[in-house]
Amino acid sequence: MPVSIRKLTGRIGAVVEGADLAAPPDPSTVTALRDALNEHKAIVFDDVDLDNTGQERLAGWFGDLTTAHPNVPAADGTRHVLAVDSETSKANEWHTDVTFVVNPPQLTTLRSLVTTPYGGETLIANAATAYRDLPAPLRALADSLRVVHTNQHDYARPAAATAQRREYDRVFVATPYEAEHPLVRVHPLTGERGLFIGAFAKRIVGLPPADSADLLRLFQSYVTRPENILRWRWSPNQLLIFDNRITQHYAVDNYDDHPRRLNRVTVAGEVPVGTDGRRSEQLTGDASHYSEVLAVAA
Ligand SMILES: [Fe+2]
C-alpha cells in the first residue's frame, strides 16, 4: 500500500498514512518518509503499534541512534530512549534538541504514552520559512553570525517547582557543554537555509550581551510567527517525527497537574555548516559518548 501524505498547514506538518512502521524497512517507504520530512519538517502517524524497541528500530531507518541524552540517563531497560515526563520536566520553551553539542540530532521521534485530557500540545516551528520571511538586510546579517549554545544557563530550563524537576535540571547541566554554530544553517539534504537558534543559544559571537540578546530575540520572533507553527494535539499511540536540523519546538504547559509522558528517540546528525561553508565547533565538553558524527557527502 503506498504511503499517503496529508498536509496539516501550508508551511509545516503532515499526517502520514499507509506506512507499516513495525515492518522491516522497505527502501521506497523510507525514501517517502524522508521526502515528507524534508518537505513538511514534521510528520505524524496515528495508531502506531510500537514499544520502545520498535520506536528505536523505526528511528534507525533514518540513521544511527544517539544515546538518550549527553547527561540524562536512558529510560529503564533502554539505551536510546529519553523519557519525556511532566513529572521531571516541562519543556515549555522554544528550542531545538541538544544544540549544545557540535552535532545535534538530525531528527527527533516522539511517541505518546500518556496524554492529557486537555492541552499538552507540542508546537513545532519551521525555521526555514522563518529565514525566508526575513527582509533581505536581516538575512544577510543572519548569514554572517555565529552563536554559542550551552546547556548551562538556568534560563534554558523552566522554573523547577518540585524536587523531581530540580533533580532533573541538576543532572541536565551536570557536565557543561558549549558549541558554536552558524546562526543560519544549510540543510545538508535540501540546501535550505534555516535559523538555527532556540533556548540553548546563549550569545552571538562578537557582540555585547545586550545587543546579542536583542538580535536573538528579533530572529526568534520570526521563527515563532503563528504561520510557521504546527500545534499538535496528542492522543495516545501517536508518533511524531520532526527534522531537528531546521525546526524548533515547544511543549505547552497548559494541562494543570495531569501526567504527560512521551518517549523520545533521536538520530545522530552531522556537524552543521553555515552559508559560508564554515562548520560548527565544540567549545566545551566532549559529547562523543552521546552521538556519532554523521558523515555528509561534501
Ligand atoms: Fe525537545
Q: What is the pLDDT along the chain (298 residues), one digit of tens a residue?
A: 689 999 999 999 999 999 999 999 999 999 999 999 999 999 999 999 999 999 999 999 999 999 999 999 999 999 999 999 999 988 899 999 999 999 999 999 999 999 999 999 999 999 999 999 999 999 999 999 999 999 996 554 556 678 888 888 889 999 999 999 999 999 999 999 999 999 999 999 999 999 999 999 999 999 999 999 999 999 999 999 999 999 999 999 999 999 999 999 999 999 999 999 999 999 999 999 999 999 985 5
- Residue spans of the domains in the chain: they are 4-284
Instruction: Determine the pLDDT at residue 85.
Output: 93
Coil, strand or helix: which one is 61?
A: helix
Answer yes or no: are the C-beta atoms of 193 and 179 closer than 8 Å: no
Instruction: Determine the pLDDT at residue 2.
Output: 83
How many CB atoms are located within 10 Å of the residue 121 CB? 17
Ligand 1 centre distance from Cα of residue 253 (Å): 14
Ligand 1 centre distance from Cα of residue 124 (Å): 10
Query: What is the DSSP annotation of 123-174?
Result: EEEEHHHHHHHS-HHHHHHHHT-EEEEES--GGGS----SHHHHHHHHHHHS
Instruction: Determine the pLDDT at residue 160.
Output: 67
Instruction: Determine the pLDDT at residue 225.
Output: 98
Instruction: Determine the pLDDT at residue 162.
Output: 86
Instruction: Determine the pLDDT at residue 158.
Output: 59
Instruction: Determine the pLDDT at residue 169.
Output: 87
User: What letter does residue 77 receive in the DSSP assignment?
Assistant: T
Kindly give, in sequence order, each residue whose CB lies less than 8 Å from that of residue 23, ignoring residues fewer than 6 positions away.
none
Strands 247-251 and 261-267: unpaired
Ligand 1 centre distance from Cα of residue 248 (Å): 8
Coil, strand or helix: which one is 246?
A: coil
Ligand 1 centre distance from Cα of residue 231 (Å): 15
Ligand 1 centre distance from Cα of residue 2 (Å): 31
Ligand 1 centre distance from Cα of residue 95 (Å): 6
Ligand 1 centre distance from Cα of residue 85 (Å): 12
Answer yes or no: are the C-beta atoms of 250 and 123 closer than 8 Å: yes
Ligand 1 centre distance from Cα of residue 185 (Å): 18
What CATH architecture is 4-284?
4-Layer Sandwich (3.60)
Rounded Cα distance, 45 and 130, in Å: 25
Ligand 1 centre distance from Cα of residue 91 (Å): 7
Rounded Cα distance, 72 and 59, in Å: 19
